Amino acid sequence: DAVTEEAVQLLEDLARRGRSQGIHLVLASQDVAGIEALWGRPSLVAQFTLRIALPKARRVLAESNHAADTVARFHAVVNDESGHTGANRIVAIPNAGHAEAWEPLQQRLWEARPPGNEPPALFDGDHVPDLTTAVPAAETALLGQTIDVAARGAELALHRAPGRNLAVVGTRTVEAADILAAAALTAARGAHERGQRIGVDICCLEPDAAASALALAAALETEGAEVDWHDDLDSACKDWESRCDGTLRLNLVHAVDAGSARLDAPGSARLRAMLIDGPERHLHTLGWWRSVPRLREDLGGFSARFDAVDAWLALDVQGPELAPLSPASGGPAWYPRVRRGLYFDRARHRVPQVVIPYRTTALLPNPSAVLDLP
């Protein structure tokens, strides 16, 4: 698919240019022939001059080099000339399952590491990262972890400018609540570290997210934020201008579409006015809509202008459904995956990027304690 093709192109580019930057790749597979994306890309495989072929391995050495077919078990062919026959060396493979030999060696190597040595970056596709403890840049929120070597946070700039709102789109309640919580907590942490004020309005219209929203309110107050709770969307939109005092203020709304359907015409107009004019007055709405059509309806219907929402993060939404929001014709090449989101900020990104929503549970108080339940 398109993602695999892009990954192979990036890998080839890194293999070609990385050595001059001190980056060296180790490519491991049971069989190069089994990696469909690499089949027919000899220019990529040619970048790996050091080859280690286990018994019966194919397409690791040169086409005319059949040493891997005859090497004995528990041995390997080591070749440092791109697999050419004259450079073969046969080596014995140590028994990696011998715990009494390997564990002391691993311990000695660990203890011998230099001071300040950082552990290697390891990407585990099944791992859900906890919310980072890093302090973001000023007036910036973190939404999730990007898929890169540095495991950086996906940033949302909250400066005073038109359109600096966020729309989370999808029906996965836990992930949507985690994204809004991560954004609010990191923005509040950044303001607290710099001695700045921040206000947060919270309106939760999804019963399944209510406990998480209440816990978030308590956590934000611990971070020094001024928190106001709104029971309905009309309350969150009413007199929004009076809450704008020049300091950073976030308006978190869980399941916006659940409340917008109950608004009368003046209430809908106030919601749109807050989305359009609020960011210029430092009031930024971070809202969760459960579908793209419902977001479009709240922005004005079929002829809606999406410039009121610079940034969006899609969860269980198919790529073609995102066409009205995407810079690519027909929508991005995207299909939903658990704990994955597609993030795009028109002010910063050329194309959408995949992010892993943080898990915020560890930084939120127990909902039972917040609600004073037995």
In order of 137, 157, 168, 189, 347, the CA distances from 154 in angstroms are 12, 10, 14, 16, 14
SS3 for 121?
A: coil
Provide the token pair at 331.
């929508």
**Which pLDDT band, with edges at 50, 70 and 90, does 187 fall under?**
very high
Distance CA 333, CA 133 (A): 32
Supply the pLDDT for residue 1.
61
Q: What is the pLDDT of residue 372?
A: 56
Superfamily the domain 140-371 falls into: P-loop containing nucleotide triphosphate hydrolases (3.40.50.300)
Within the chain, all domains assigned CATH 3.40.50.300 are found at: 140-371
Q: Which residues contact 32 (CB under 8 A, 6 or more apart)?
A: 38, 39, 45, 57, 58, 59, 60
What are the tens digits of pLDDT across the range 317-351? Answer: 999 999 999 988 899 989 899 999 999 999 999 99
C-alpha to C-alpha distance for 318 and 333, rounded to whole angstroms: 9
For range 220-248, the mean pLDDT? 94
User: Which pLDDT belongs to residue 374?
Assistant: 44
